[in-house]
Structure 1
Amino acid sequence: MEWKKCYLDVILVPLGFLLYIGYHVWLWHKVRTQPFTTTIGINASSRRFWVPAMMKDIEKKNILVVQSLRNLVMGSTLMATTSILLSAGLAAVVSSTYSVKKPLNDAVYGAHSELMVALKYVTLLTIFLFSFFCHSQSIRFINQVGILVCTPQDEKSMVTPEYLTEILEKGFIMNTVGNRIFYSALPLLLWIFGPVLVFLCFLAMVPVLYNLDLVCGSGKRKMEMNGKGEDSV
């Protein structure tokens, strides 16, 4: 009898998660094989040119560098603060003796047991904590770039443009991962109202992310230019 109540939760919620994870596995493969067809690949390629250009003329562009890195830190700080505040709120709800599930029992599908309700909140709590961890690491890496970018350059210096580019890329990767983890919590907020809405939200989110992540026109032009260059050689 208990299975009949929770079979929608057991099927639809993991299926939505698999759809979301599968899209990002495909996106990672796309970035690795055809980076110029994705916004992530194009931005990463641009940052590899940005760091050496800023270090080459740091005396004139130091304000631009500081402002750019400050904006990145502010964005990650906002997401980290939001994640930890939501985690604290969910922890308070989980530990509360008030039963928040009673008004919703007759309005949603899926299981309504105390164990299932606790599982929903604990899952959200875990996701927000992981998002907070990723954004805090992003802040750490970007702050390192802000300090090291003004290091005097000489032959014995260990701080090279390649080294700073690698640190900056780590910061952006952690920021992207933290954002995508945070996005996955949005459909799970609807799990309070039933597993059907969770699956539908994941289903709607994937096409939206696809349109934001793919830049097919720019990628095709870049690939055509590379092909012409190889032919001319």
Structure 2
Amino acid sequence: MGLTLKEEHLDFFLVPGGLLLMLGYHLFHLHRCLKLPDTTVIGCENHNKKAWVRKTLEVAAKDRGQAITVINSSISAATSLASISLGLSSLIGAWIGSTSHNVFISSNIHGNKSLSVVYIKYIALLSFFLVAFACFVQTVRCFVNANFLISMPNCEVPASHVEKEVIRGSNYWVIGLRSLYFATNLLLWIFGPIPMFVCSVITVVLLHYLDRNTAPLPQFKTLPASHNSQKNGKEMTAVTSANDRRERSDTVEPEHLASI
């Protein structure tokens, strides 16, 4: 007796296959981040952020305005992504409560078109958007705490405390982005299991290329004080020269008009 693969059975093979492919890659990437962080982009970024925190805390609290601006930019980006995730979750939740699902039971979609599978698509997609929202909110919390520590006046803040908050916020950011990647694949499941599986394969190939780091980790060295003073002296000289030229032009112009 030969087995015939019906169209309704595609969802039971391709969708779990695509999800397992994505999950397997991220477990492999997590192993690399923990054991060989130098070979991953995440490990390189964490190395740079730790160096940034150490160099930031070497200056006085009143001179850390640029560092606070960097943290605020990260907070704004995380807030925007959290708002987008929450908005899409609300839209999907409202769609689940509605009674019109004809767009997902179209004859042009290959796969299982039963109402129960449609609800599973909705709930799975909603779950990943909610996970992304929660992760971005935690990112904002960690960066706000790091902002408080960096801007604390008349106090020597341990660098390990600030590094912990910055790295933790970055990890939540990464998890939120990966949840959006999963949500994108599940979004294509609405149009059938075949687009979802193809998107999973393409996503894994692209992430495997983008997550690798082949360059050596940069070593950051503090510039000598003479270099900074020389640079500031050149800037002051340039400003002084510009002011002198402006003053000479202001004095020459009235004499020229008087002679006329």
Contact 2:17 2:197 in 1 (8 A): yes
Shift of residue 78 of structure 1? Answer: 1.2
Query: 2:114 aligned with 1:113, yes or no?
Result: yes
Q: Whose RCO is larger (CA < 8 A, sep 6+)?
A: 1
How big is each residue's C-alpha offset from its partner over 1:96-140, in whole Å with a ceiling of 9 and x where there is no partner? 0122346x4311111111111111111111110010000000000
Moved more, 179-188 or 50-59: 50-59
For 2:210 and 2:25, the matched residues in 1 are separated by 13
Partner of 2:214: 216
Contact 2:61 2:153 in 1 (8 A): no
For 1:184 and 1:151, the matched residues in 2 are separated by 39
- State the secondary structure of the residue aligned to 2:10: helix
Partner of 2:20: 18
Contact 2:61 2:150 in 1 (8 A): no
Partner of 2:52: 50
Partner of 1:205: 203
Shift of residue 33 of structure 1? Answer: 1.8
Where in structure 2 are the equivalents of 1:27-46 lying within 5 Å? 27-46=29-48
Contact 1:58 1:150 in 2 (8 A): no
Identical-residue share of aligned pairs (%): 30
Query: 2:58 aligned with 1:76, yes or no?
Result: no
- State the secondary structure of the residue aligned to 2:141: helix
Query: 2:3 aligned with 1:7, yes or no?
Result: no
Unaligned runs of 5+ in 2: 220-260
Contact 2:61 2:152 in 1 (8 A): no
Contact 1:101 1:117 in 2 (8 A): no
Contact 1:101 1:112 in 2 (8 A): no
Contact 2:68 2:150 in 1 (8 A): no
Query: 2:123 aligned with 1:125, yes or no?
Result: no
Give the structure-1-normalised TM-score: 0.86
Amino acid paired to 2:27? V
Q: Which has the higher helix share?
A: 1
Shift of residue 4 of structure 1? Answer: 4.1
Contact 2:92 2:122 in 1 (8 A): yes
For 2:41 and 2:198, the matched residues in 1 are separated by 26
Shift of residue 53 of structure 1? Answer: 1.1
For 2:162 and 2:200, the matched residues in 1 are separated by 36
Rg (Cα) greater in structure? 2
Aligned-residue Cα RMSD (Å) equals 2.0
Partner of 2:160: 162
Partner of 1:228: none
Amino acid paired to 1:118? Y
Shift of residue 59 of structure 1? Answer: 3.7
Give the structure-2-normalised TM-score: 0.77
Contact 2:110 2:192 in 1 (8 A): yes
